[in-house]
Amino acid sequence: MYKATIAITLRPSILDPEGKTLQHALTNLGYDEVDQVRMGKQAEVWIDAESEAEARRVATETCEELLANPVTENFDVQIESVPREAAKQGTA
Amino acid sequence: MPARFGVVVFPGSNCDHDAYHAAHHVFDQETRFIWHEEESIGDVDVVIVPGGFSYGDYLRSGAVARFSPVMQDVVRFAEEGGLVFGICNGFQVLCEAGLLPGTLMRNESLRFVCKDTPLRVENADTPFTNGLTEDQVVTIPISHGEGRYYADEDVLARIEAHDQVLFRYSTADGEVTDDANPNGSARGIAGLVNEAGNVCGLMPHPERCVESLLGGDDGRLIFESLLAHVSTVAA
């Protein structure tokens, strides 16, 4: 069993008003060193695949077909092998 | 000949009854609801994909709705030249389904905006706008939190080159300015059609302003355009 941790982020050219608002809030909290905030999403997908390469292929396909919007978003897939039992309990 | 309207209903649609009311009660057209699990839209002339929060807007607005059984048939219908009209969330669904270019993102202000908006007519030569005139200003309400139209520059250039923009947010005098843009949409785009001209997406809600009793009836012009187009095709 493999667990794919997928980070979905706005492409750099896309305006992110939410990130900008949070950056302002952090500045108000005194974090003057925070220069920029960009918000994104993370998906955790457990995949029953024969190999890491196969799991990566499936995870990438899920992004291309649904999880990410190619017009505005990039995605990054990290794969790790997890024990089957842990996957069932969602603890891995 | 009366037009046959089909109004798609997803879990979370909430302007489906307004669309039905406009088509059926106000314009007296044969109208039916099409549940999202239906695999065929049946014999209709116009499919309305209504506003709301289909599937709770999970992931992205319209992202999940496009995989519903009914949308497969809506895509087929659109590809065969059928008239498909997506309003608000329906616009988002049509973008996610790839029937319209670009996408709709969170309003620049991060606020949900619900108000009457003047719109300048850009193209009055489509099935959705033939009853209007170019540069005419109509007032139709918007009601959305995610209506900021976005597409890459080359896509925008292509849309403009093919005259696909139908409406831009404007002042009451028809000036397209940043101040008149309620959500930060690229080039003030409020509504557009696909290249073939048979699929339209519009963030404002014409179905909410078809009776003067309710504060305005400029939305009638769009429904009247559709009816005129359908009767011409049938004749």
- Min Cα separation A35/chain B (Å): 20
Could you confirm whether domain A2-89 is CATH 3.30.1280.10? Answer: yes
Query: Is B167 within 8 Å of B122 (Cβ atoms)?
Result: yes
What residues of B are in contact with residue A66 (Cβ under 8 Å)?
Answer: 59, 63, 67
- Predicted TM-score of the model (pTM): 0.92
> What's the ipTM?
0.80
Q: In angstroms, how far is the first alpha carbon of chain A from the final one? A: 10
A42 strand-pairing partners: A7
Whether B35 contacts chain A with CB within 8 A: no
**Phi and psi for A16 in degrees, rounded to 5?**
-125, 85
Q: What is the pLDDT of residues B7-43, one digit of tens each?
A: 999 999 999 999 999 999 999 999 999 999 999 999 9
pLDDT at B215: 87
Q: How many CB pairs under 8 A join A and B?
A: 30
Whether B109 contacts chain A with CB within 8 A: yes
Query: Is B195 within 8 Å of B164 (Cβ atoms)?
Result: yes
Local confidence band at B234 (pLDDT 50, 70, 90 cut-offs): confident
pLDDT average, residue stretch B100-114: 96
Q: How far is C-alpha A39 from the chain's CA centre?
A: 10
Whether B63 contacts chain A with CB within 8 A: yes
Whether A72 contacts chain B with CB within 8 A: yes
Whether B58 contacts chain A with CB within 8 A: no
Q: What is the pLDDT of residues B43-90, one digit of tens each?
A: 999 999 999 999 999 999 999 998 999 999 999 999 999 999 999 999
pLDDT at B137: 98
The answer to whether residue B207 is catalytic is: yes
Q: What is the pLDDT of residues B112-153, one digit of tens each?
A: 999 999 999 999 999 999 999 999 999 999 999 999 999 999
Strand order in the sheet with A40-47: A40-47, A2-10, A73-81
The DSSP bridge pattern shows strands B46-49 and B4-9 to be parallel
Q: Where are the domains of chain A?
A: 2-89
Annotated catalytic residue: which of B15, B95, B207, B229?
B207
What residues of A are in contact with residue B152 (Cβ under 8 Å)?
Answer: 71
A72/B103 touch (CB, cutoff 8 Å), yes or no: yes
Whether B105 contacts chain A with CB within 8 A: yes
Structural domain range at position B128: 4-234
Annotated catalytic residue: which of B15, B88, B95, B209?
B88
Q: What is the pLDDT of residues A51-89, one digit of tens each?
A: 999 999 999 999 999 999 999 999 999 999 998 876 666
Q: Which of B57, B60, B104 would you mutate first to test chain A, the one with the most A CBs within 10 A?
A: B60
Distance separating alpha carbons of residues B161 and B211, to the nearest angstrom: 35
Distance separating alpha carbons of residues B19 and B25, to the nearest angstrom: 10
Number of other CB atoms surrounding residue B144 within 10 Å: 23
Number of domains forming the structure of chain B: 1
